[in-house]
């Protein structure tokens, strides 16, 4: 090949790189490893991450049962080794799957249109706010403090350089956003009101009231949904202007935080302000139905600095997982999943209360609840939880200093009743000598 090129050596091909740029020593990286060695390394690493333990962590990343067809299907090379469907004729699989995903997200959320996905829920929320700024021409941003703290951090990163800051609204003793305070914060310059439901504490917000408040001031309501399984039973935010959704719960592995798939859905009238890819129906030259990427004039590769976003990739393979998950569970399954989550969480709330622990925030909740253990108790319970192979709740102190001692506990359908009972026992204020399991059986 070198001869065909007219080069004497491989080095010749790199000769035009100035000498001072060239790396003249080997990279300080070990020799190539064989497959057994690689498996060994990662199996060792995986073993250090509590495999097989029951987990009560949610907080934006939810463990739901993933039926086996998902991985079987997405492991086909035609799905995962393809790229963006620029050439529609040889990408109809990806395009139709995206179209189906968009449709299912619309059905779930009550919106008219949904994009092909964003990076995750946090960036979807931030981009939804940028979208609202563009639509309204206003600059005020009002966010419920009961929205995911990391989502709010991302939003601040996205808007700070524009000299903007989100105004945060506190929560009521029942765990929902203080709507009166929220409305008082709205004004003629408010572009967006951002409310999450179920919120970070698991409490279900009132979409209609939030939308009414926003609309009275000409602002857009951005409905944030971090746990999509909730939509199996909860009313969708049909009154919202934009929905920013994290699709992870729909069959995407928790996987230490990613990759996930965010989505922005909205009403028809805001379509042209929507960021991200869109698949649309088209006809080929013989009139046959197919799908193409469409409305690309919103996007960076056409509009460059005038695009609606700088986003290029979506999370197509994750969106595909969600589409397969939604197809398998379907209309009945999603409702049954949601009901099981509700039931398990209600059971856990009762068990905590029965054990003498205070369950905060009495408003209706989905699959998370906040339990006040007392400062230091969550950390003190770690050894007991480890013995039981349980990952406990998330201590809220880092993001809500006023909730020091409280943990956010998520109870999905994957957690058996016995694990809930063991968790309660480990957290219960037991006399030092008593075995916590006996304490529970005493109830």
| CA distance linking residue 224 with residue 402, whole number of Å | 24
Give the gyration radius of the chain's Cα atoms: 25
- Between residues 16 and 402, which has the closer beta carbon with respect to another protein? 16
Q: Is 406 in the site for another protein (CB under 8 A)?
A: no
Q: Is 210 in the site for another protein (CB under 8 A)?
A: no
Binding to another protein, residues 110-129 (CB under 8 A)? 112-114, 116-117, 119-123
Phi and psi for 172 in degrees, rounded to 5?
A: -85, 170
Q: Record the tokens describing residue 138, joined without a space.
A: 């206003």
Q: Are 144 and 214 in contact (CB under 8 A)?
A: no
Minimum Å distance from CB 360 to another protein? Answer: 17
- Between residues 29 and 432, which has the closer beta carbon with respect to another protein? 29
Binding to another protein, residues 343-402 (CB under 8 A)? 343-344, 346-347, 364, 382, 386, 391, 394, 398
The label of the residue with tokens 């903007």 reads 164
Minimum Å distance from CB 217 to another protein? Answer: 24
Q: Is the peptide bond before 259 cis (omega within 30 degrees of 0)?
A: yes
Distances (CA, A) of 316 to 150, 234, 273: 23, 26, 21
Per-position x/- string for 245-274, each x denoting binding to another protein as judged by CB under 8 A, each - no binding: --------xxxxxxxxx---------x---
Which of the stretches 172-180, 188-196, 233-241, 429-437 binds another protein when contact is defined by CB under 8 A? 233-241
DSSP-derived 3-state class of residue 318: helix
- Between residues 153 and 438, which has the closer beta carbon with respect to another protein? 153
Binding to another protein, residues 145-174 (CB under 8 A)? 148, 150-151, 153-154, 156-157, 160-162
| CA distance linking residue 233 with residue 131, whole number of Å | 28
Q: Record the tokens describing residue 254, joined without a space.
A: 């928790």
Q: Is 314 in the site for another protein (CB under 8 A)?
A: yes
Minimum Å distance from CB 369 to another protein? Answer: 14
Nearest C-alpha neighbor of 124 from the set 311, 379, 384: 311
Binding to another protein, residues 22-51 (CB under 8 A)? 22-23, 26-33, 35, 37-39, 41-51
| CA distance linking residue 207 with residue 230, whole number of Å | 14
- Between residues 187 and 375, which has the closer beta carbon with respect to another protein? 375
């Amino acid at each position: 090949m070198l001869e065909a090129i007219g080069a004497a050596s491989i080095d010749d091909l790199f000769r035009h790189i100035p000498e001072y740029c060239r790396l003249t020593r080997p990279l300080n990286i070990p020799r190539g490893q064989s497959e057994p060695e690689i498996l060994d390394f990662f199996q060792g690493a995986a073993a250090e991450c509590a495999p097989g333990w029951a987990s009560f962590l949610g907080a934006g990343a939810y463990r739901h049962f993933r039926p086996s067809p998902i991985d079987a299907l997405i492991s086909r090379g035609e799905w995962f080794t393809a790229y963006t469907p620029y050439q529609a004729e040889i990408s109809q699989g990806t395009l139709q799957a995206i179209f189906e995903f968009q449709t299912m997200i619309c059905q779930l959320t009550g919106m008219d249109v949904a994009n092909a996905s964003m990076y995750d829920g946090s960036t979807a929320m931030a981009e939804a706010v940028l979208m609202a700024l563009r639509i309204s021409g206003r600059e005020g941003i009002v966010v419920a403090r009961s929205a995911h703290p990391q989502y709010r951090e991302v939003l601040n990163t996205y808007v700070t350089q524009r000299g903007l800051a989100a105004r945060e609204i506190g929560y009521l003793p029942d765990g929902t956003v203080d709507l009166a305070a929220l409305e008082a914060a709205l004004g003629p310059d408010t572009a967006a009101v951002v409310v999450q439901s179920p919120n970070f504490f698991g409490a279900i917000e009132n979409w209609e009231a939030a939308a009414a408040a926003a609309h009275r001031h000409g602002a857009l309501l951005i409905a944030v949904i971090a746990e999509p399984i909730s939509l199996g039973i909860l009313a969708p935010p049909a009154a919202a202007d934009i929905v920013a959704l994290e699709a992870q719960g729909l069959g995407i592995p928790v996987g230490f935080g990613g990759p996930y798939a965010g989505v922005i859905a909205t009403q028809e009238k805001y379509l042209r302000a929507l960021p991200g890819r869109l698949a649309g129906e088209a006809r080929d030259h013989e009139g046959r139905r197919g799908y193409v990427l469409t409305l690309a004039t919103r996007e960076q590769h056409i509009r460059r600095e005038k695009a609606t976003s700088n986003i290029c990739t979506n999370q197509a393979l994750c969106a595909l997982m969600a589409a397969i998950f939604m197809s398998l569970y379907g209309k009945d399954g999603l409702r049954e999943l949601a009901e099981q989550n509700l039931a398990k969480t209600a059971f856990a709330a009762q068990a905590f209360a029965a054990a003498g622990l205070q369950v905060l925030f009495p408003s209706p909740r989905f699959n998370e609840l906040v339990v006040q253990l007392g400062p230091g108790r969550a950390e003190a319970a770690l050894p007991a939880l480890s013995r039981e192979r349980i990952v406990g709740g998330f201590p809220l102190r880092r993001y809500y200093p006023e909730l020091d001692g409280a943990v956010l506990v998520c109870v999905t359908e994957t957690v058996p009743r016995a694990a809930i009972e063991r968790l309660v026992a480990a957290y219960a204020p037991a006399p030092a000598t008593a075995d916590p399991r006996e304490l529970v059986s005493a109830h």
